[in-house]
Structure 1
Amino acid sequence: MATTPSRAARAYPAAGALELSEFFAPQRTPSTDLPAPEPFLRNLTRGVLEVFAGVREVDQLARWLTEDAYRKLVTRANLAARARSARGVPARRPVHALLSVHHSSPADGVVEAVVIVQGPARTRAVALRLEGMDGRWRATSLALL
């Protein structure tokens, strides 16, 4: 018995499916259509530090992160939670001072930044890469150094 292509397959050939996926995929946004990155960098850094301290859920930052950055943050937050549990330390709101924000734009719609954060025990750096997607900034990479 010969099979005939489904109605959907006839309506959307492979080339058309590629065009549809490009249409619904995140769209790059130029820097001129985006807000200033510094407030976003400060807020995201505070949120990441609160996630590591265990006082904020990672899901609250999901809309600001790409999928890859989100997965890495979840993994790191789980490790921090296990370390707190093993030491018997409760989750407490972190007391950090954001000392400085340094950022540059290597390409249109891209910002690479370092936020220097002073905590009670030591000073650290948070490295971030932001890309303009769908009219807003999203972090594609972040690292607590």
Structure 2
Amino acid sequence: MTARLPSAPRTPVVEGAVARRLFFDDDEFSRQRSGRAELDDPEQLLRNLTHCVIEVLAGARDLEQLARWVTDDVYRNLSKRVVLAARARRAKGLVPQRPAFTVGRVMIDEPADGIVEAVVMVHQRARSRAVAIRLEGLDQRWRASVISVL
């Protein structure tokens, strides 16, 4: 009679940008803060990031496309919202569509060197929304450390 070996525990499969961030990116504590003089003008990034976030929540864009521009906490929070939005669409029998909207006024405040807090207005046919974003300069580029879609 042969003895059975216990099976190895199953490990979750990690793919794409998440895998790259888990296995190849430096950890957040080793990142170097960057001052405002080392960074580009944040307005265009704020506009583009807002555009992408709205499309991600609508199901028209993959969340992994934002992985480079957001911190791990923001990625996890957006991931939860994407799952909830997809579940709500399925319950209503809707298919993901590219939303029709325009990015409006961008209001920027700089509370400290290398930190930008902004509100970006998004105008849709039925309503307007505000997206609050906090950018921090890390490794000579902007990264969103907070994104709230109101």
2:134 corresponds to which residue?
Answer: 129
1:96 corresponds to which residue?
Answer: 101
State the Cα distance separating 1:26 from its structure 2 match.
1.0
Higher helix fraction (1 or 2): 1
Moved over 2 A (4+): none
1:110 equivalent to 2:103? Answer: no
1:7 corresponds to which residue?
Answer: none
State the Cα distance separating 1:98 from its structure 2 match.
1.0
TM-score normalised over the length of structure 1:
0.83
Residue 64 (structure 2) aligned to one of 45, 59, 64: 59
State the Cα distance separating 1:136 from its structure 2 match.
0.4
CA distance in 1, matches of 2:110, 2:50: 18
CA distance in 2, matches of 1:32, 1:55: 35
Highest CA radius of gyration, 1 or 2?
1
Amino-acid identity (%): 52
CA distance in 2, matches of 1:119, 1:85: 22
CA distance in 2, matches of 1:121, 1:33: 40
State the Cα distance separating 1:35 from its structure 2 match.
0.2
**Residue identity in the other structure for 1:52:** L
1:138 equivalent to 2:134? Answer: no
Unpaired runs of at least 5, structure 2 = 1-25
Please give the per-residue CA displacement for 1:49-93, whole angstroms capped at 9, x wherever unaligned.
Answer: 010110111111000000001100000111111101100111010
2:74 corresponds to which residue?
Answer: 69
CA distance in 2, matches of 1:37, 1:99: 15
TM-score normalised over the length of structure 2:
0.80
Aligned length: 124
Unpaired runs of at least 5, structure 1 = 1-20
**Residue identity in the other structure for 1:25:** S
